[in-house]
Structure 1
Amino acid sequence: MKKQRPTRSYTRADGTRVSGYDSRRDVATPTHAAATPPVDNGWDSSVDRSAYATTELRPAQVDALIAGRNPAALVHVAERRNLTREHQFRIADDREMVVRHALASNPGARPDVLDQLSRDADVRVRAAALENPTCPAGALRDAYRSALEDVELKATAVAHENADAAFIRAAASDPDPVLRSTAIGRWDAPADVLALAANGDNLDRLCVAENPGAGSQLMSQLSKSAEPEIRAACAGNLLALDDETLARLETDDDARVRAVAAHSRRILDAIDERLGAA
């Protein structure tokens, strides 16, 4: 009786599954090999490791990749949406800026991890954390207070959707015009901030005139401003204008203001026509 060879399953290099004995060991890998956590500490830049961002990996495999400390691999691991809190904190402590930056840009990064990354030694990592949609309000406030002369970084914090009303009020009174206009220009700026800014300097009033959340009362007030650029901004603010204010701006003394108002009127008429036809 002929002795049978042991039966095993293999996955070939082309991805096909083979049952039974296969002598082509050079192109076949036992399926049980997938249970071995990958350790990628190679430095060959020609190897495509982007699959680490999406391929299903077990926690032990992610552990092994983090332990491998290969930035070419970790930068993709850091992009994974389902990283555990422990894995995120380990990656947040990685020595390579590109790895920390990838995690700071990940929408799946946890708020407490982003809080740490918002205080990173590298400004690019800090900026990425502050731009992340899940960055917590506390980290935004801390960045605003600690960024010192970095106006761009502070403006990123002020513009973030998670900034709370108290933070917006503080930024609206900042002596720096960039930060002040960023706060006043937010569509969700508190009403008291907009009312105060409507009586401020030209830049503050222009920001209110352009803000779609300002409301018709402030538009009516600012449409009587002595500065044509502010009246023109009101004329183009379709979401805040009422018909009475628009009609007044259509007969403004300044030709540019009249042109903007006429354009707004055409847009509103076209919208009414479409709605009527529907």
Structure 2
Amino acid sequence: MYKLSNKTTLILNVINNKQIRSLFNPSDGKFRVNNLSRNDSAEYKFEISDGINIKEKRALRLTIQAPVSSVRLASECLSQGEKRVSCSSEGGDSLQYSWTLDGRSLTDTELLSVNTENNSITLKQHVSGAVACSVENNVSQVSKEEEISNCVFINCSSNGTQISQWVFAANNTLCVEQTTPPTTISECSTVADHSLLVCGVRAAVVVFALIGIAVYFAWKNKDYKKAEGSAYRPEREHQDESVVMVEM
């Protein structure tokens, strides 16, 4: 006969292989209790008897714990480039937290501090890798892993707003600086191949127009000198002839 009870509750009572409210296996001493609630948490007496005399008697503490349902990680860069990683869970009772980096325990050269009140750790500036938080109690265990990169300092202006802060290098989207400055041709600024082609055509048109104007004026000047020379010679011949007629 096996009996597990306290002053008000009978959880296990096995008499002639008839079990009440539980399933018990005498070979390994394990039993499963059905329909438990938090109110069943208490100290119980476990008795083994032959139905007349008690052969063994022990005091057991029964604790009802809910399993861990999920785990979440949150990370941020601090003022000097350190990384804070926080771990939170839903559900579960009497939880214990543990941390690993790339599948191993953290060392003093990597770990700056541990805060057990908010379940967070602070990693030193040079530390990066796969950080995992494991949450467990007596009935369950759940782990969550996240890749933590190094922090970089951003000091720039975005849309008129000055930004100076540490951010994770892997997912930085603040102030992505332009690496290639714009090129100026004539009076247009090029930022794409299409604009380059348009500005090149415009510049060529301007050059050819200037060449055409120069050629035109040169031709006009030459034609003017030729016409002037032609008008001067007949007048000379006429004067020469007049002089000859006077001498005669």
For Structure 1 versus Structure 2, the TM-score category normalised by the shorter chain is: under 0.3
Select the structure of larger CA radius of gyration: 2
Q: Return the structure number with greater strand share.
A: 2
Q: Which has the higher contact order (CA 8 A, sep 6+)?
A: 2
Q: TM-score if structure 2 supplies the norm length?
A: 0.25
